[in-house]
Structure 1
Amino acid sequence: MKKFVLGLTCGFALTATTAVYASDTLQVYLFPAMYVFNGQSKALDSEYTTLNFNGHAYVPVRWVAENLGKLVKYEHYTKTISIVNTNLTEELVLDKDFLIIASQGKIKGIEFGIGSNKNELIQKWGEPHEIGTWSTEFYRWHSYHFFFWEPDGNAGSIRVSGNVIPYRLNEIRDFIGEPLDEGEGVDGGWSYVYHAGDYQVFFTADSKESQIRYLNLKKK
């Protein structure tokens, strides 16, 4: 294992942290470990490293928590790291209630919906896992992308993707009924469109027989 010496510092790879250096030093070793989460093997992301210090493995708490489906928050003033449960990695349940809740601008089981402010989400869920742009800025927490409209920074649409939608497109009719419309998706594939009050829900897959790639909830 490769050895190196570094200043004593706070060993948490969190977005909002600031390293504080002291005169003391630690002698640590790179530790190329593989991790298994609920039977699934996973290597550390490229920006993370496992360290061995005095026979103990040190790994970024954020990476471990997120792979367990949890959210991590860091409070700078109190130097407190919080790890909390979340519904953001649980499978969506598609039933009649799904469209009733969608008519309120929300995804079933998720507390924040369309109109929620960006700062509200950060305060409750911590820093996003990704910030990017698809026609407008989005913040991603696990499989949920929230698109925020300027200048207010309120959520204008929500996109859900990944394994939290374990359904094929042709199964959707059985769970929530006939779509109002269907056709080619905006980025290819095939979409079913449902109306829920002032909102629309788009389910998109590569084909009618394929697993859903994502759903979008937005105002009409």
Structure 2
Amino acid sequence: MKKFILGLSLGLAIACSTVVFASDSIEALLFPASFEINSSNIGLNNDYKVLNVDGHAYVPIRFIAEYLGATIDYDAESQKIFVKNKILDLTDPDYKGISVGNLILTRDGNNTKVTGQLKMEGVGNTKNTIAASLFFYNDKSEKIGDIAINGNDFGVESQTFVLEGSGDFRAYSAVNLHISAVNNQIIPGTPSIVYENTKYNFTLRLPKSWEGKFDVEERVGESEAWPDSYNFIDKANKGYGGVIFTITIWTKEDWIKNGPSLIVVGQIYKIGEDGDKVFTLAPPGDVEYNPHDEMLKAEFFSMYDHINTIKTTFKLKN
């Protein structure tokens, strides 16, 4: 797949905006500058110019962002420029070696444009064909949008893609990556089992590979600071805690009061609500496995890696 180059022109957006001048005019001169980025000499093409305004150099942000390996886009509705250049940390737990990240979602008419990056590990300079999907969810674990990633030019270097999905799902709460084929080899779906909680009337889908390997322990809350919760525990690491994740059930009032501060200080995700109840999922804050046993450590993380997928399977029973 050819690298998608964004067609957005920030100049057009600025031209359509209200321009306010601090004085009668602003004088800008072309600035004859060249660039060295990460020890490589980079020349400007005819699409970009550098300006000198009052002794300050104004550089095209898209030019700099792309050569630094970042994604960039402009959302006209919010009048905001987005630049992302982080580690690609979104993976499919059932297919290792492919990661996605630096997602930027902007409005495009009735659709959502998704700009992101994908790379593969351990493939050298070879190019690979990939079929994948990104699924976007709100904080009630309802799917609100998706895009399909298809191409034959993916490798060890991050590859930028720009795709569109139907509807407006910019305000997503969670996103899952699913790899469906690599180099024309179909990746089968992962079988699952259902965990059912009859007290609070919800279900979760867990990988079938977890069967017989986990326990669920209820902790009855004693105050608003300690509401009812359920620890999902790796049996093999139970002597060291073994908690893979915790489902907590809050009253809506308590969540409104405590939720914002908890989100700031640690990973906690709202996954659903039912009347006055709010359900959240959180990974453990401490080491919960035997750090001296590589096999037990690997077992724990093989289960832990599924958290991102599991949290979007939350369903309330009718």
TM-score bracket relative to the smaller structure: 0.3 to 0.5
TM-score (normalizing by structure 2): 0.31
TM-score (normalizing by structure 1): 0.42
Which structure carries more strand by proportion?
2
Larger Rg: 2
